[in-house]
Amino acid sequence: MKNYLTLEDIPNLQQAVNQVIALKKEPYSNEHLGRQKTLGMLFFNPSLRTRLSTQKAAQHLGLKTMVMNFSNEAWALEFEDGTKMSGLRSEHIKEAAAVVSQYCDMVAIRAFASLSDKNKDEEEQVLNNFARYASIPVINMESATAHPLQALADAVTINEQGLTKRPKIVLTWAPHPKALPHAVGNSFSRMVQQLDADFVIAQPQGYELNPEITKNTPLMYDQEEALKDADFVYAKNWCSYSDYGNILRTDEQWMLTAKKMKLTHNAKFMHCLPIRRNVVVSDDVLDHSNSLVIEQANNRTYAAQWVLKQLLENG
Ligand code: CP
């Protein structure tokens, strides 16, 4: 593995999940691997879990971290080639990526979708330009279209439940007052498609994810029907993909409640966090013992540690 940009950079997901679980048992077993090495962490957007879990993962490996918030601390970056930089953007990605590559041994980037320019978002302008111009490994800490660190942690969390039968996993759209990106839904879908599971996605009309992501996964428009007999329910909001970046309607009746969870096979509840209580999901679901959200966040550390370890070992 040279970079970790998408879930597809993992050669064997099940093997990776097993190795993450082993790391979780002995997190300091490779504490010298990152000695005298530095992970740069560049944030174009806010974070709680990704920032702290990745820093914790780096600590376990003896890596130093340098963190920069590009949104308010760094020069505004230009990503277009051949442009006359007479506007607000002071530094070109070519120099920025080359300079960061001198200070760091790996760089992790968080850069959400603009939700205004579908082409640029799908091109992954920020992440892919860092990957293009940096001479060090690049890690995706949530980009315009993918959140592969979250998806690996979610795969671990599902695996840890030790199911004996093929589980039914439901990804359900849930309401939210702001337009949110598709990254988590995309990466979760790509991850579950690799599991031995019955997988369905429930969403209102107009909220279908990119069909290149959902592929043959059944799409359902009746949330309660979709929830029947589910073993795992993953709630997430995303804005419209076809009417790109827009909120078509708030559909408050899509909020996940304890009454709806009764339709399931005593399902575990999952969400990547942060979550808006009593908007996305009611308190009684989030506070129930079947909620895995805190364990998902815990597993972010070991998923990130596995990724950093692979990149360190590959030199
Ligand atoms: N789930 C997740 O990525 O959380 P943060 O946005 O807080 O990093």
| Residue ranges of domains in the chain, CATH in brackets | 7-147+300-313 (3.40.50.1370), 162-291 (3.40.50.1370)
Cross-sheet strand order for the sheet of 268-270: 219-220, 198-202, 168-173, 232-236, 268-270
Distance from the alpha carbon of residue 47 to the mean position of ligand 1, in angstroms: 5
b (16+ CB within 10 A) / e for 142-170: bbbbbbbbbbbbbbbbbbeeeeeeebbbb
Using 50, 70 and 90 to split pLDDT, how confident is the model at 3? very high
Distance 149 CA to ligand 1 centre (A): 10
Q: How far is the CA of 82 from the centre of ligand 1 (A)?
A: 35
For residue range 202-215, list pLDDT tens digits in order.
999 999 999 999 99
pLDDT at 315 > cutoff 80: no
Beta strands in the chain (DSSP E): 38-43, 64-69, 77-78, 91-92, 106-110, 138-140, 168-173, 198-202, 219-220, 232-236, 268-270
Ligand 1 contacts (CB < 6 A) are 47-50, 142, 150, 272-274
Over residues 120-178, the pLDDT tens digits come to 999 999 999 999 999 999 999 999 999 999 999 999 999 999 977 899 999 999 999 99
Per-residue pLDDT reduced to its tens digit, 16-50: 999 999 999 999 999 999 999 999 999 999 999 99
Confidence (pLDDT) at 250: 75
| Ligand 1 atom showing the smallest separation from residue 273 Cα | 1
Is residue 60 classed as helix, strand or coil in its secondary structure? Answer: helix
Burial (CB < 10 A; 0-12, 13-18, 19+), residue 57, is buried
Cα(157)–Cα(128) distance, rounded to whole angstroms? 29
Q: How confident is the model at residue 193 (pLDDT cuts 50, 70, 90)?
A: very high
| β-bridge mates for residue 107, sequence order | 40, 138
Nearest to 184 by CA among 81, 76, 296: 296
Query: Per-residue pLDDT tens for 94-103?
Result: 999 999 999 9
Question: pLDDT tens digits, residue range 268-289?
Answer: 999 999 999 999 999 999 999 9
61-111: per-residue pLDDT in tens? 999 999 999 888 989 999 999 999 999 999 999 999 999 999 999 999 999
Q: What is the pLDDT of residue 233?
A: 98
Determine which residue's CA is closest to atom 1 belonging to ligand 1: 272
Q: Could you tell me the distance, in angstroms and rounded to a whole number, from the CA of residue 216 to the centre of ligand 1? A: 28
Atom of ligand 1 nearest to the CA of 48: 7
Q: How confident is the model at residue 183 (pLDDT cuts 50, 70, 90)?
A: very high
**To the nearest whole percent, how much of the chain has pLDDT over 90?**
96
State the pLDDT confidence band at 252, using cuts at 50, 70 and 90: confident
